[in-house]
């Protein structure tokens, strides 16, 4: 018997309640959040989530980051509100390179539990 999306939605909402900060990374952050962007005015940002539906959790609004020049962003990381617990990283569908300082807007971040 497969688990229902109703259960996955509860699990995802619980995860969204604790994963309230997001970071940018220049390589796979591994299990500890390494390779985080640094320099310039870069800082981790708050993220809010819509209620999970159909086994998917999606951010409620865009998140904007200041990114220093000479950086290629490849991953996004999820953290607790204190920034001390790293929950994991997600590879971007395509890297974003910044020759000069600029802004990265994370418009859609979706977490999906697959009912196999």
pLDDT of residue 43: 98
CA angle 82, 85, 91 (to 5 degrees): 110
pLDDT of residue 54: 92
The pair of three-digit structure tokens given for residue 102, joined into one six-digit string: 């600029």
Measured distance CA(81)–CA(94) in Å, rounded: 27
> What global pTM score does this model have?
0.93
Measured distance CA(69)–CA(99) in Å, rounded: 5
* Residue partners of 11: CB distance under 8 A and separation at least 6: 113
pLDDT of residue 1: 58
Task: Please say whether the beta carbons of 50 and 108 come within 8 A.
Answer: no
Measured distance CA(18)–CA(10) in Å, rounded: 13
């Amino acid at each position: 018997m497969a688990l229902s999306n109703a259960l996955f939605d509860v699990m995802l909402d619980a995860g969204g309640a604790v994963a309230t900060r997001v970071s940018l990374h220049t390589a796979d952050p591994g299990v500890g959040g390494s390779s985080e962007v640094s320099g310039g005015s870069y800082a981790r940002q708050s993220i809010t989530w819509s209620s999970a539906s159909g086994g998917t959790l999606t951010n409620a609004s865009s998140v904007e980051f200041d990114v220093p020049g000479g950086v290629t962003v490849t991953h996004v990381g999820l953290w607790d509100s204190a920034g001390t617990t790293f929950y994991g990283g997600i590879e971007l569908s395509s890297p974003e390179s910044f020759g000069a300082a600029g802004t990265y807007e994370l418009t859609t971040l979706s977490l999906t539990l697959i009912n196999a």
